[in-house]
C-alpha cells in the first residue's frame, strides 16, 4: 500500500501497532542520508539531494483519532497534513 503526502508517494509503508509508530519511506530506507526532527516530535529523512524520502510518525493512531489528521512540519519547508491514514493503521 502506498501513501501520498504533499505530492510525495511513500511506497514503503509499515505500521508497528505495538508501539503506534508509522514508518513511511520512498523506496529502501538506505537511500536516506540526512535526518531531522519536526516540532511535532516526528522524524523526517532526506536523500542526498535534500528531497524528503521518509517520515516516522510517533503515536500515529492516537493522533489521528484525537485530531482527525496528522501534521508534520518539515524543517525549512511547509507544514503538511495527512488525514487519510486510517486504512494503513487498520491494516496492520
pLDDT digits (tens, 9 = 90+) for 21-62: 999 999 887 778 888 998 999 999 988 888 889 999 999 999
Give the model's pLDDT for residue 92: 57
What is the spatial distance between Cα 79 and Cα 89, in angstroms, rounded to a whole number? 22
Q: What is the pLDDT of residues 62-86, one digit of tens each?
A: 999 999 998 888 876 544 556 666 6
Give the model's pLDDT for residue 51: 85
Say what the pTM is: 0.77
Helix (H) or strand (E) holding 86: helix 86-91
Mode of pairing for the β-strands spanning 52-58 and 12-16 = unpaired
Cell numbers 538506505 correspond to what residue? Answer: 30
What is the spatial distance between Cα 27 and Cα 30, in angstroms, rounded to a whole number? 8
Amino acid at each position: 500500500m502506498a501513501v501520498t503526502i504533499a505530492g510525495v508517494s511513500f511506497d514503503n509503508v509499515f505500521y508497528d501497532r505495538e508501539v503506534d509508530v508509522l514508518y513511511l519511506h520512498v523506496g529502501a530506507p538506505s537511500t536516506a542520508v540526512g535526518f531531522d526532527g519536526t516540532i511535532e516530535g516526528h522524524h523526517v529523512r532526506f536523500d542526498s539531494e535534500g528531497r524528503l524520502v521518509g517520515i516516522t510518525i510517533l503515536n500515529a493512531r492516537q493522533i489521528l483519532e484525537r485530531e482527525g489528521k496528522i501534521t508534520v512540519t518539515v524543517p525549512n519547508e511547509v507544514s503538511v497534513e495527512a488525514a487519510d491514514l486510517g486504512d494503513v493503521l487498520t491494516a496492520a
